[in-house]
Amino acid sequence: MNNPRFEGIFPPVVTPLDEHERIDEQGFVTQLNRLIDNGVHGIYLLGTSGEFVSLTNEERTRAIEIALSAVNGRVPIICGCMDSSTKRVIKNIETAQELGVKAIATTPPYYYPPHSDADIMAFYKSIAASTDLPVVIYNIPQTTKVAIPPEVVRQLNESVDNIAGIKDSTGDWTNFLNLLAYLGDSDKFSILLGSYTVGGAAIMLGAEGAVMSIANVDPKTPVQLYEAARQGRIAEVKRLQLKLLSLGKLYSYGTPASCLKTCLELMGVCRAYTTSPIMPVSESGREELRRLLKEHGLIR
């Protein structure tokens, strides 16, 4: 099987909501078009920033339908299908595939996580066998309570045809270097960094791209960072990386989803509603975010 190459910046798009936690279609379409108009290379749908875990099944389905229609093939979509058991993940994959999704991603199941490397292997083999879609491994141990070792990723790549890549959100540089050593030369596997803080350096060393939540607010700078890193322009990579680190202060005023959505509300993209029990940013935090956005030229 020839897996696609996932290259560039894939924002883990937020899921705009109304006050009843139903998807705000207009806000969602506005954000998707805004990301694509600013040059992103793909969309990472229903990820952590998209509040997948707390959306109802009906709203997850609506998110996929709206995104597929709005994106209309302009860039690739990787759709998150995470859930709490193997059967539930497979059901999510079946729904996504029926709707027209072309690639999926999943963490190991949460709440009852895999106990051993063998359990992780068995889970991903079951997932991959249930579909002919490319499967992207999503490694985010801070939320799933299970870390997927690079050695396990290598074994999965070698033994399962449609294991197509990894989103590495560990924030562990050594983990990334081991992935690069094992899989950097593979022509059927893409390494995507789930971090804005080390994305530039990782791409310079050979990662195919990055899934940066901060790109929801400022998509242009991550795209410029990717281009500079691919071209080996070290000084430019440093400048852009420091710019993103400064903008990253936005995460200081609440949960990531509420901070991102408050920024987007201040920018006139969508409302700041989140899924309960995620709390809104305080009024003082909102004013700090307003100042930060003005400092970065994202609002007047």
Domains of the chain and any CATH numbers: 8-233 (3.20.20.70)
Q: How far apart are CA 73 and CA 1, in angstroms?
A: 21
Residue by residue, pLDDT tens for the chain (300 residues) are 678 999 999 999 999 999 999 999 999 999 999 999 999 999 999 999 999 999 999 999 999 999 999 999 999 999 999 999 999 999 999 999 999 999 999 999 999 989 899 999 999 999 999 999 999 999 999 999 999 999 999 999 999 999 999 999 999 999 999 999 999 999 899 999 999 999 999 999 999 999 999 999 999 999 999 999 999 999 999 999 999 999 999 999 999 999 999 999 999 999 999 999 999 999 999 999 999 999 999 999
The alpha helices in the chain, defined as continuous H runs, are: 25-37, 57-71, 86-99, 117-129, 141-144, 150-159, 173-183, 199-205, 220-230, 234-247, 256-266, 283-295
Instruction: Find out whether 79 and 101 touch, Cβ atoms under 8 Å.
Output: yes
Q: Which two tokens stand for residue 210?
A: 């990055």
